[in-house]
Structure formats: C-alpha cells, structure tokens
Amino acid sequence: MATARYAALITTGANGRINVRTMDPFPPDADMVIWFGTNPRSRKVRELRRNPRVTIYYFDPVAQAYVSIQGTARLVNDRAEKARRWKDEWKAFYPDREKSYLLIAVKPERLEVINVKTGLTGDPNTWDPHTVIFP
C-alpha cells in the first residue's frame, strides 16, 4: 500500500454495475482506516449514499504485489478533519474547501494481499490470497 501511488476505489452504481476510479489516498491511519478526498457532487458520493460497501485496490507492478480491501465507507464533512486531510496539490480540484471538498473514510473489514517479490503468493492449490479479517 505504501509503494502504490494511487488506489482504485470501487463502488456499486444504482443499476448494480461496478464503477472503478483512480484515487489519491492518504496512508492508512492507526486503525487501518483509509481516507480519500472527493467532490461532494461526484457520482461516487451518490453511490456511497446508496451503498457504502466498497473495495479498494492497490497495485505495485515492481513487486508484483496487490492489496485488496473490502470495507464500509462513510462521508465526512467535518472542517477540522478536512483541514487535517488535505494535499496542497489538490487546490485546483477543490477551489472552495468548504463546499467542494468532502472526505471518504473506509473502515476495512477484509484485506487480501499477494506479493510475488517477497514470496507471499497465497495458497498454491486454490490461489486464494493471504487474508486478514478485521474485527
């Protein structure tokens, strides 16, 4: 997760189709909650209001590694939290942080990982990845 610059945030649309978009996440916090910034008018926000279940996918081509996280997202519009979770390179995307910037916090429930470079390749028969279940 630390070596992947971006992650894919995967949501479910109203029509049941899966939607994937590239996101610029913050590093996970101490509880492994993953934070993203977005526009409150975006399609992903509408989808999360209908169905907060998401998948996040990180990929590192050099290590031939991925981490896939299933969890529940919540929308956070707290001024102090938004100030803590801000990247100056986002100024052009969010000219008015009060109105055009919203946070998504994803609480993980299940994590799957493969890292070929380190030998973490999962079950040799079923190819099931190594899995962590969060309480």
Architecture of domain 7-133: Roll (2.30)
pLDDT for 64: 94
CA distance 25 to 79: 18
Q: Which two tokens stand for residue 34?
A: 């993953």
Q: How confident is the model at residue 103 (pLDDT cuts 50, 70, 90)?
A: very high
- Contact call for residues 10 and 25 (beta carbons, < 8 A): no
**Residue 68, both tokens:** 């896939």
Q: pLDDT exceeding 70 applies to what percent of the chain?
A: 100
The full set of domain ranges for the chain reads 7-133
Read off the pLDDT of residues 52-69 as tens digits, 9 standing for 90 and up. Answer: 999 999 999 999 999 999
DSSP-derived letter for residue 96 is S
